[in-house]
Amino acid sequence: MHKNETGARKWEDAFVIIPEYGSYPYSELQIFGFAVLGFFPTLALVVCGLRIYSRRLVGGLALG
């Protein structure tokens, strides 16, 4: 954190939305957990999208 001579934070810090890289002590397990949280929902969206695409391709959705 940036501090002035009185020890108070600078006003610019109020506008920082994303902290600087390395400013928060992430562990390897937290990084792995974030990767899992991103990977499996993405995989589920891809699988569901492919299923809908294949059913639409063969006319299995009964939409026409």
Number of domains in the chain: 1
Domain encompassing residue 50 = 11-58
Give residue-wise pLDDT tens across range 5-37. 665 566 666 666 665 666 666 788 988 999 999
Residue 15 lies in a domain: yes
Residue 44 lies in a domain: yes
Tell me the C-alpha distance between 1 and 9, whole Å: 7
For residues 37 and 61, which has the higher predicted lDDT (pLDDT)? Answer: 37
Residue 63 lies in a domain: no
pTM of the model: 0.52
Residue 16 lies in a domain: yes
User: Is-contact 24 31, C-beta < 8 A?
Assistant: no
Whether the pLDDT of residue 4 is over 80: the answer is: no
Residue 3 lies in a domain: no
Residue 5 lies in a domain: no
